[in-house]
């Protein structure tokens, strides 16, 4: 028997456990103390690991924020997979996907508020619009491309090219509203989602009208220029 191969799964399992403990401790402390007031040393103590071990898995607090983004995104993908596989109506797909964002993020409502207060700064290394977050941002935008392409909606090709980016921006706006929503069960956020998704889909259908073609092209050119300027 190869002793090294027998030991490796144990090490991997222990490493995954340590990583999860550090991430969980960070979320708890971000909620209790706020993002800025939480130190890597405090996270290591709460997780029951050495400071060196915490830096091994997460070289900085910013890496913990990126892990938070990744964690919630993967939860979101798992929740929406059945919806996207069965539903073809664009309004239902978009509404379900945006509602699922809120459902999957809800357990982290307090944490999200703490993190947002710091990372919303354009100078933050983990600003959702910044280069460090680009890989995950591109994944979310690709998800919205699937939301559109998998529907039976007739979307002009020029609009279809920019729509995923616009829908990601829409998601960010909804999340911003949700962070500050203190209504029971975040019902206000859910109501806003239901109203705005229907409006978005109606606007998309109107974009097919020949009379609006010129306005659509000007609006999309503006979106492209803004997007290019933010990178």
Q: In this structure, what CATH number is given to the domain that contains residue 54?
A: 1.10.10.60
51 and 125 assigned to the same domain: no
114 and 216 assigned to the same domain: yes
**Domain boundary residue, one of 41, 59, 77:** 59
Contact present, 70 and 136 (Cβ < 8 Å): yes
Which of 103, 111, 109 is closest to 64 using CA atoms? 111
What share of the chain in percent tops pLDDT 90?
62
Q: Could you give the angle at which helices 61-86 and 134-149 cross, rounded to 10 degrees?
A: 10
Residue holding tokens 């998998």?
A: 150
CA dist., res. 90 & res. 94, Å (int): 6
Give how far the C-alpha of residue 65 lies from the chain's centroid of Cα atoms, to the nearest Å.
Answer: 11
**pLDDT-flagged residues of the chain (< 50):** 1, 4, 6-7, 10
What is the per-residue pLDDT for 223?
A: 66
Contact present, 27 and 69 (Cβ < 8 Å): no
DSSP annotation of 34 reads -
When divided into structural domains, the chain yields a total of 2
37 and 130 assigned to the same domain: no
Give how far the C-alpha of residue 78 lies from the chain's centroid of Cα atoms, to the nearest Å.
Answer: 13
Which of 159, 177, 53, 179 is closest to 113 using CA atoms? 179
Which of 172, 27, 193 is closest to 110 using CA atoms? 27
49 and 94 assigned to the same domain: no
Residue holding tokens 């998601």?
A: 171
Which of 59, 72, 25 is closest to 44 using CA atoms? 25
192 and 215 assigned to the same domain: yes
46 and 110 assigned to the same domain: no
Which residue range(s) make up the domain with 173?
A: 61-230
DSSP annotation of 123 reads T
**Domain boundary residue, one of 59, 77, 104:** 59
Q: Could you give the angle at which helices 3-33 and 40-47 cross, rounded to 10 degrees?
A: 120
162 and 83 assigned to the same domain: yes
Residue 106: other Cβ atoms inside 10 A: 13
């Amino acid at each position: 028997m190869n002793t090294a191969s027998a030991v490796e799964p144990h090490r991997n399992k222990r490493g995954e456990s340590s990583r999860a403990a550090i991430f969980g401790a960070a979320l708890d402390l971000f909620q209790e103390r706020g993002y800025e007031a939480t130190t890597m040393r405090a996270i290591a103590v709460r997780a029951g690991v050495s400071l060196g071990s915490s830096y091994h898995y997460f070289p900085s607090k910013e890496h913990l924020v990126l892990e938070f983004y990744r964690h919630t995104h993967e939860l979101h993908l798992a929740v929406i997979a059945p919806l996207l596989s069965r539903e073809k109506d664009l309004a239902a797909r978009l509404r379900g996907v945006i509602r699922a964002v809120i459902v999957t993020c809800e357990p982290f409502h307090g944490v999200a508020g703490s993190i947002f207060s710091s990372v919303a700064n354009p100078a933050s290394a983990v600003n959702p619009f910044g280069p460090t977050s680009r890989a995950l941002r591109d994944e979310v935008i690709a998800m919205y491309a699937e939301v559109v392409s998998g529907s039976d909606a007739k979307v002009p090709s020029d609009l279809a090219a920019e729509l995923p980016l616009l829908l990601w921006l829409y998601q960010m706006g909804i999340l911003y509203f949700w962070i500050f929503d203190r209504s029971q069960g975040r019902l206000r956020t859910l109501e806003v989602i239901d109203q705005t998704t229907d409006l978005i889909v109606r606007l998309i259908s109107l974009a097919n009208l020949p009379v609006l073609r010129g306005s659509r092209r000007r609006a999309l050119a503006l979106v492209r220029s803004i997007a290019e300027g933010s990178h």
